[in-house]
């Protein structure tokens, strides 16, 4: 399922430790598989994504904060409906969260046709920090999960 209807969004801030996961993963995917999807990075306000994801087959990659999940735990949500009922705190370290942006998109009738959330439980959000070892180890798993979702075969 390759093509221009696929959108992969990385959310985060690469200057804040584990929060950089989404951006690093999207940059890697874009470099290795440029024709797989349209790529987008959002560092601040997920509500800016509403027009971009409207009608797209969407993958969102982000680091999550949740004390119940061990650092480096991969967290997958495979549908928009499931994503909308999750706890807000699970998805964002930003002021406006992803769930709020999706709810606003629903009110505006601007939603993706499908939505797959790939999250990794992080622990280090300090300014200037690198990805923690456990989160860094998830990068190849995130990439393969995206390729599997889009049923992409590397030629």
Q: What is the C-alpha to C-alpha distance for residues 144 and 137, in angstroms, rounded to an integer?
A: 13
User: How does pLDDT run along the chain (155 residues), one tens digit per residue?
Assistant: 445 799 999 999 999 999 999 999 999 999 999 999 999 999 988 889 999 999 999 999 999 888 888 999 999 999 888 887 776 555 555 567 788 889 999 999 999 999 999 999 999 999 999 999 999 999 999 999 999 998 865 43
Bridge partners of residue 8, in order along the sequence: 39, 59
Whether the Cβ atoms of residue 32 and residue 140 lie closer than 8 Å to each other: no
pLDDT at 4: 75
User: Could you tell me the domains of the chain?
Assistant: 6-149 (3.40.50.1450)
pLDDT at 82: 86
Whether the Cβ atoms of residue 15 and residue 24 lie closer than 8 Å to each other: no
Q: What is the C-alpha to C-alpha distance for residues 103 and 99, in angstroms, rounded to an integer?
A: 6
Q: pTM to 2 decimals?
A: 0.89
Four-CA torsion 109, 112, 113, 117, nearest 10 degrees: -140
Whether the Cβ atoms of residue 112 and residue 7 lie closer than 8 Å to each other: yes
pLDDT at 2: 46
pLDDT at 100: 86
């Amino acid at each position: 399922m390759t093509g221009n209807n696929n959108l992969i969004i990385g959310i985060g801030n690469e200057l804040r430790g584990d929060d950089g996961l989404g951006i690093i993963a999207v940059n890697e995917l874009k470099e290795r598989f440029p024709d797989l999807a349209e790529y987008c990075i959002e560092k601040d306000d997920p509500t800016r994504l509403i027009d971009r994801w409207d009608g797209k087959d969407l993958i969102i990659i982000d680091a999550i904060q949740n004390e119940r999940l061990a650092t480096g735990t991969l967290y997958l949500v495979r549908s928009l409906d499931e994503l909308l009922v999750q706890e807000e705190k699970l998805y964002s370290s930003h002021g406006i969260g992803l769930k709020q942006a999706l709810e606003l998109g629903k009110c505006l009738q601007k939603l993706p046709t499908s939505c797959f959330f790939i999250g990794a439980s992080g622990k280090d959000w300090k300014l200037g920090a690198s990805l923690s070892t456990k989160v860094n180890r998830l990068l190849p798993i995130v990439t393969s999960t995206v390729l599997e979702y889009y049923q992409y075969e590397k030629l």
